Amino acid sequence: MNAQIKTLLIKCFSDSSLNRLPQEYGGMPIFSAPVIGVSRGDDPIFMKFKEVVAQDHLTPVEMWVRNGLPNDGRLGPRLRTLSIVFPFDSHIREQCGRNDKPMPLELYCLARNLANPFMDQVLDRVMGFLQDQGFQATAGMGSKTFEVTSHSDSSHFHSNWSERHIAFAAGLGTFSLPETFITDLGCNIRLTSVITDAPLEVSPRVFDGAYGNCLHHAKRTCGECIAKCPVGAITREGHNKKKCSRYVQRMREKMEERPFRVMMKPHYQRLNGVEKPVYRVGCALCQFGVPCTDRNPMADE
C-alpha cells in the first residue's frame, strides 16, 4: 500500500492547481515530488519525544483517540504514522539561493503561505484513499487536535505534534545545527502526517543519530548556515530559538504591509487554546544556498 500512496501523491503534486504559484509569480509548482516514511504507533521513540519536545507532545495513539477514533486497547502495534516530505521546487530554491538581502523573497513567503491549502488537500486525498480501502485515518498537524503553546515570554513556541520529530521517527532524515530537518531532498521542505490503522510497511531509521545528516554535527565542518542568518541566531553552539522567532515575527509584519499580502491565505491554528487565523511566511534564509538545501550532504561523504 506504500507504493499506492506514493503514486497517489505524485499524481496530486503534479495535477493540483493548489500546488502552483499565482501567474504574477510565474505560475510554477510550489513543490516537486514528495517522499514518504512510516513509523509504528508503539515505537518507543514517541515517549522519548515527551522528554525532548514537551510533556504534552502526543503519541500516535493519543492523537488518534483525541481525534475521536475508537480505541480497542491494542492500538499501538496496529497504528502507523505516515510522514510526507514536501520539497520546495528547484526554481524557488535557485532564486532564493541568489537572494543576498537580509529578508526572504516575496516568492518564498508566498510559496510558504500558499503551501498550506495544498497540504490540506494532500491530507484529504490520502485520508480519503485509506478510508476507501476500509481503514481509518486522521491527520497530525492538520487535525483539530493540533495545538501550539507559547512559552511564558511569548518568544518561542512548541506544538503537541512536531512534524519534524514525526518525520525523524519515520526515518526520513535528521535535525541540523539550525534545527531544520535534513532529508534526502534537503532541508528546504514542509512536512505533514497521517495516522492510520492501515498496515503500511514501516521504514527503517538508518541515520547516524538525531543530527547525523548535518555536516557540523557529523564532521565539525560546514557551518554555512551561520552566516546566512541576519540576526545571529545560529552559532556553532546551536540555534537561538528566541532570536529566530522574533525575526520571523518581524518578517511576517513586514510582509503584511506589502501589496502581495492580498494573495495570501489564512491558516487556522489553535494557539494557547484559541483558534485564530495566521499568515505564516517564514524566513528560511538559513536553508538556501547551503550544502543541505536540496540534498543530504552526508550522502556525499
- The contact set with ligand SF4 (CB under 6 A) reads 176-178, 214-216, 222-225, 228-229, 231, 233-234, 244, 247, 283-286, 290-292, 297
Shortest spacing between CB 160 and ligand SF4, in angstroms: 22
Residue type, 223: G
Shortest spacing between CB 178 and ligand SF4, in angstroms: 5
Shortest spacing between CB 290 and ligand SF4, in angstroms: 4
Shortest spacing between CB 219 and ligand SF4, in angstroms: 9
Q: Which is nearer to ligand SF4, 131 or 235 (CB)?
A: 235
Q: Retrieve residue 291's grid coordinates.
A: 550544502
Q: Are 214 and 177 in contact (CB under 8 A)?
A: yes
CA max distance for the chain: 55
Q: Which is nearer to ligand SF4, 61 or 109 (CB)?
A: 109
Q: Which is nearer to ligand SF4, 63 or 111 (CB)?
A: 111
Q: Which is nearer to ligand SF4, 27 or 232 (CB)?
A: 232
Residue type, 227: A
Q: Which is nearer to ligand SF4, 133 or 235 (CB)?
A: 235
Nearest to 299 by CA among 185, 203, 179, 176: 185
Nearest to 50 by CA among 161, 140, 125: 161
Grid cell 530537518 — which residue? 181
Contacts of 122 (CB under 8 A, 6+ apart): 9, 12, 13, 16, 84, 86, 192
- A 10 A CB-CB count for 212 gives 18
Pairwise CA distance, residues 7 & 13, whole Å? 10
Shortest spacing between CB 176 and ligand SF4, in angstroms: 4
Nearest to 48 by CA among 166, 158, 152: 166
Distances in Å between the Cα of 245 and the Cα atoms of 131, 158, 217, 252 are 38, 11, 23, 11
Shortest spacing between CB 174 and ligand SF4, in angstroms: 10
Q: Which is nearer to ligand SF4, 122 or 177 (CB)?
A: 177
Q: Which is nearer to ligand SF4, 80 or 165 (CB)?
A: 165
Shortest spacing between CB 224 and ligand SF4, in angstroms: 4
Pairwise CA distance, residues 87 & 238, whole Å? 24
